[in-house]
């Protein structure tokens, strides 16, 4: 695994977990027992397995894809995985009103995926 992927992932995990700690202890947050948009409630272990597969795929493609984007995706995946393993749910706290609530890990993962898609279509 390259340094850029690991450094990016570690920064994402720290920002994600710090923000979730603050919201869990001092502000309102949502417990998400499902996946994106709260879908598939109650399938915690399926999401743990999917996260493990994503991590393995990142290791597999680390030399073929953009390292920064992979770092964002890895950090976001591990950030939410930590929540699932520690709490049994994901802490969501960004609520725009017109969109289901989400967190920094979701945001970083989404940005990582869009960067990968953009670079794929660009090249």
Mean pLDDT of the chain: 94
Q: Which of 16, 66, 83, 92 is catalytic?
A: 92
Instruction: Count CB atoms within 10 A of the CB of residue 15.
Output: 16
Is 106 designated active site? yes
What's the token pair of residue 7? 């450094």
CA dist 86 to 39, 48, 66, 91, 95, Å?
A: 20, 12, 30, 11, 23
Contact predicate 17/74, CB 8 Å: no
User: In angstroms, rounded to a whole number, what is the distance separating the alpha carbons of residues 63 and 43?
Assistant: 32
What mean pLDDT do residues 50-70 have?
93
**Percent residues over pLDDT 90 in the chain:** 82
What mean pLDDT do residues 28-54 have?
89
Q: What is the pLDDT, as a whole number, of residue 86?
A: 97
Residue 40: pLDDT over 90: no
Q: Which of 16, 66, 83, 106 is catalytic?
A: 106
């Amino acid at each position: 695994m390259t340094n850029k992927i690991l450094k990016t992932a570690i920064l994402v995990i720290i920002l994600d977990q710090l923000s979730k700690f603050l919201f869990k202890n001092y502000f309102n947050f949502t417990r998400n027992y499902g996946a994106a948009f709260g879908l598939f409630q109650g399938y915690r272990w399926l999401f743990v397995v999917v996260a493990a597969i994503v991590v393995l795929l990142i290791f597999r493609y680390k030399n073929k894809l953009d390292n920064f984007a992979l770092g964002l995706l890895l950090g976001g995946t591990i950030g939410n995985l930590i929540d699932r393993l520690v709490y049994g749910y994901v802490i969501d706290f960004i609520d725009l009103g017109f969109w289901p609530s989400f967190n920094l890990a979701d945001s970083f993962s989404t940005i990582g995926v869009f960067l990968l898609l953009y670079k794929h279509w660009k090249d």
